[in-house]
């Protein structure tokens, strides 16, 4: 069952602080998407008026990138339940993952098309960040950047059994 939602009762305006350059090849480009998005190198061009906000960022190894998924297909906006992508039957998994609530997935089909990506900071070049692991398209608006700190993942982290079956690096609950 794929239900559409307008979950919020309020709306907010946000301004991008930059834009992604490089990143994933567009779906209609004919270029194959890499199997491991952690290796995709790209650049985040922070707009000159926001460049001072980067001061000190080069001391971090990883950053969270919040982006606006501006190319989300109309049919995917507002979905509340999806079958998780990358969770299809494989040699290690016995069945496809169940259909679950979108908040239990990293699907781009969301009530608000906001992306969250953890990238490795390769280097800073003025107002440009060279990063690895950027899994959005060239031209995607960047809404915010936040440093990753190791205390965010203190202790074990767990996933439901259906997700662990499709991701052998994770431990089930």
Please list the pLDDT of the chain residue by residue as tens digits (173 residues). 344 556 666 788 899 999 999 988 777 788 877 777 778 899 999 999 999 999 999 999 999 999 998 877 665 666 788 887 655 555 455 566 788 888 888 887 888 889 999 999 999 999 999 999 999 999 999 999 999 988 777 656 666 776 666 555 544 43
Q: What predicted TM-score, i.e. pTM, was given to this entire model?
A: 0.79
How many whole angstroms separate alpha carbon 76 and alpha carbon 78? 6
pLDDT at 78: 65
How many whole angstroms separate alpha carbon 127 and alpha carbon 111? 31
pLDDT at 155: 59
Domains and CATH numbers, the chain: 18-172 (2.40.30.70)
Strands 62-68 and 114-125: antiparallel
pLDDT at 166: 57
How many whole angstroms separate alpha carbon 147 and alpha carbon 65? 9
């Amino acid at each position: 069952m794929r239900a559409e939602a307008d979950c919020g009762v309020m709306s907010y305006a946000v301004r991008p602080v930059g834009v992604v350059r490089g990143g994933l090849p567009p779906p209609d480009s004919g270029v194959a998407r890499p199997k491991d998005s952690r290796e995709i190198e790209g650049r985040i061009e922070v707009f000159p008026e926001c460049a001072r906000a980067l001061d000190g960022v080069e001391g971090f190894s990883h950053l969270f990138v919040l982006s606006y998924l501006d190319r989300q297909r109309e049919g995917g906006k507002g979905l509340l339940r999806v079958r998780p992508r990358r969770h299809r039957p494989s040699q290690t998994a016995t069945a496809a993952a169940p259909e679950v609530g979108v908040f239990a997935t990293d699907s781009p089909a969301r009530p608000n098309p906001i992306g969250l990506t953890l990238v490795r900071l390769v280097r800073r070049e003025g107002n440009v960040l060279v990063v690895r692991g950027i899994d959005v398209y060239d031209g995607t608006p960047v809404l915010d950047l936040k440093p990753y700190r190791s205390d965010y993942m203190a202790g074990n982290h767990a996933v439901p059994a259906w997700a662990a079956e499709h991701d052998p690096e994770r431990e089930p609950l």
